[in-house]
């Protein structure tokens, strides 16, 4: 991607300009970011997705005798409110994993690292529907797909939430700006900006969201993934205490044992390669509700038409490794360049595949067999 080329998607800013001026800093409203945009799925197709076990969905209603209500899917059609009923919202997560057109839409935002891109959520709302004034911990692009939605936003200082609510709603929302978005309009919001979107008539909004690892969660995940490789690397060196004197307080842990343990952990944490592998595996690990479709017949060789990644596949790389769907491979030379091209372009043509070594072709064949890579595309 040419990151210094002006894009209508970003209000004729280049990706470089957007990242310097707006990313994690201030909102951006773009009128007709995608001119003539129409939703890829109608409301019935979206509701059909919400029926599935492998799709994360939520239903939020307001304006009833019960006040705000919240429920998690899947939702049989009989459990959804009538289309004509006001003030309800259906949220369907990860639609890019189930529809090629939505997946292609998300690719337009790859000027932001794939390690940060999360998914596309589609929100259907009846007249007056919304999720209440709130703030998020992540960046989001809000693309209006159908109908109109009125957005109010502000740099909320008071983060107090209404008590005893099934959803997170600000107790004293103080909006500073207000916009009505039409199909093709888009609003970017950095983390922490309070916002409230209310449907004006029936509407759909596509939310392109981003991953925000929390330091504590990230540390836990990496330490768990590093444990086995660290144990292998450190070997079977045993604790020795030939100089241990007799003790009067037997329950006290010896300083030497604490230092032995500290040294073992420190040695593991100094293994930069182990940390890099753990991070790449974590960032590419498919979500729990993501399943792959293996081919009916086990492939014996790659076809001649090129390959492309399945839309559900996450593939990243660093200087020395390739990561795909939670697995890591050390890579160098010509094959490493080809694998990086596959990760960046999400496809390789037949000529590129032909340049791969036999080992690389065998590896790609195993990915085809797992449903991660589509052959002959």
What tens-digit pLDDT sequence spans the chain (377 residues)? 899 999 999 999 999 999 999 999 999 999 999 999 999 999 999 999 999 999 999 999 997 777 899 999 999 999 999 999 999 999 999 999 999 999 999 999 999 999 999 999 999 999 999 999 999 999 999 999 999 999 999 999 999 999 989 999 999 999 999 999 999 999 999 999 999 999 999 999 999 999 999 999 999 999 999 998 888 888 888 999 999 999 999 999 999 999 999 999 998 888 999 999 999 999 999 999 999 998 887 787 887 789 999 999 999 999 999 999 999 999 999 999 999 999 999 999 999 999 999 999 999 999 999 999 998 65
CA dist list (Å): 187 to 7, 111, 141: 15, 17, 6
- Any bridge partners for residue 199, and if so which? 149
Q: What are phi and psi of 291, to 5 degrees?
A: -120, 145
Residue 49: what pLDDT? Answer: 98
What residues contact 25, with CB distance under 8 A and at least 6 apart?
190
| Longest Cα–Cα distance in the chain | 83
CA dist list (Å): 322 to 290, 335, 372: 21, 10, 14
Class of domain 8-210: mainly beta
Lookup: tokens for 68: 């705000």
Residue 304: what pLDDT? Answer: 74
Q: What are phi and psi of 231, to 5 degrees?
A: -60, -40
Whole-angstrom Cα distance, residue 222 to residue 230?
11
Residue 64: what pLDDT? Answer: 77
Whole-angstrom Cα distance, residue 214 to residue 86?
37
Residue 377: what pLDDT? Answer: 59
- Please check whether residue 24 is in contact with residue 192, taking contact to mean a CB–CB distance below 8 angstroms: no
CA dist list (Å): 142 to 37, 42, 166: 13, 18, 23
- Please check whether residue 123 is in contact with residue 196, taking contact to mean a CB–CB distance below 8 angstroms: no
- Please check whether residue 368 is in contact with residue 293, taking contact to mean a CB–CB distance below 8 angstroms: no
Give helix 333-345 / helix 358-370 axis angle, nearest 10°.
30
- Please check whether residue 21 is in contact with residue 54, taking contact to mean a CB–CB distance below 8 angstroms: no
Q: Which residue bears the tokens 């909006």?
A: 175
CA dist list (Å): 62 to 130, 147, 164, 174, 310: 8, 20, 15, 20, 38
**Cβ atoms within 10 Å of 279's Cβ, excluding its own:** 22
- Please check whether residue 205 is in contact with residue 90, taking contact to mean a CB–CB distance below 8 angstroms: no
- pTM for this model (two decimals): 0.92
Residue 123: what pLDDT? Answer: 98
* C-alpha 99, offset from chain centre: 16
């Amino acid at each position: 991607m040419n990151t210094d080329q002006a894009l209508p998607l970003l209000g004729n800013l280049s990706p470089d300009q957007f990242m310097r001026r707006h990313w994690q800093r201030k909102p951006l409203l773009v009128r007709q970011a995608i001119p003539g945009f129409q939703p890829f799925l109608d409301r019935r197709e979206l509701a059909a997705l919400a029926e599935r076990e492998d799709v994360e969905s939520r239903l939020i209603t307001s304006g009833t005798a019960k006040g705000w209500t919240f429920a998690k899917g899947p939702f049989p059609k009989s459990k959804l409110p009538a289309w004509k009923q006001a003030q309800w919202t259906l949220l369907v997560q990860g639609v890019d994993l189930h529809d090629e057109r939505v997946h292609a839409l998300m690719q337009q935002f790859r000027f932001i690292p794939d390690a940060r891109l999360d998914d596309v959520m589609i929100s259907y709302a009846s007249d007056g529907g919304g999720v209440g004034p709130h703030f998020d911990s992540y960046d989001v692009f809000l693309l209006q797909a159908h109908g109109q939605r009125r957005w109010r936003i502000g740099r909320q200082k008071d983060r107090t939430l209404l008590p005893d609510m099934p959803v997170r709603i600000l107790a004293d929302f103080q909006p500073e700006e207000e916009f009505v978005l039409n199909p093709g309009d888009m609003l970017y919001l950095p983390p922490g900006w309070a916002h409230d979107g209310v449907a004006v008539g029936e509407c759909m909004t596509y939310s392109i969201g981003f991953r925000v690892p929390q330091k504590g969660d990230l540390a836990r995940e990496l330490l768990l993934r590093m444990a086995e490789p660290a144990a292998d690397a450190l070997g079977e060196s045993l604790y020795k205490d030939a100089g241990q004197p007799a003790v009067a307080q037997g329950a006290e842990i010896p300083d030497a044992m604490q230092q032995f343990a500290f040294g073992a952990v420190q040695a593991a944490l100094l293994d930069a390669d182990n940390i890099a592998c753990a991070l790449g595996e974590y960032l590419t690990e498919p979500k729990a509700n993501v399943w792959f479709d293996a081919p009916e017949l086990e492939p014996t060789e790659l076809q001649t038409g090129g390959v492309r990644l399945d839309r559900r596949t996450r593939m990243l790389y660093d200087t020395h490794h390739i990561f795909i769907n939670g697995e890591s491979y050390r890579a160098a030379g010509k094959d490493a360049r080809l694998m990086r091209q596959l990760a960046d372009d999400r496809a390789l043509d037949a000529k590129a595949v032909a340049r791969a070594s036999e080992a690389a072709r065998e590896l790609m064949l195993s990915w085809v067999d797992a449903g991660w890579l589509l052959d002959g595309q």
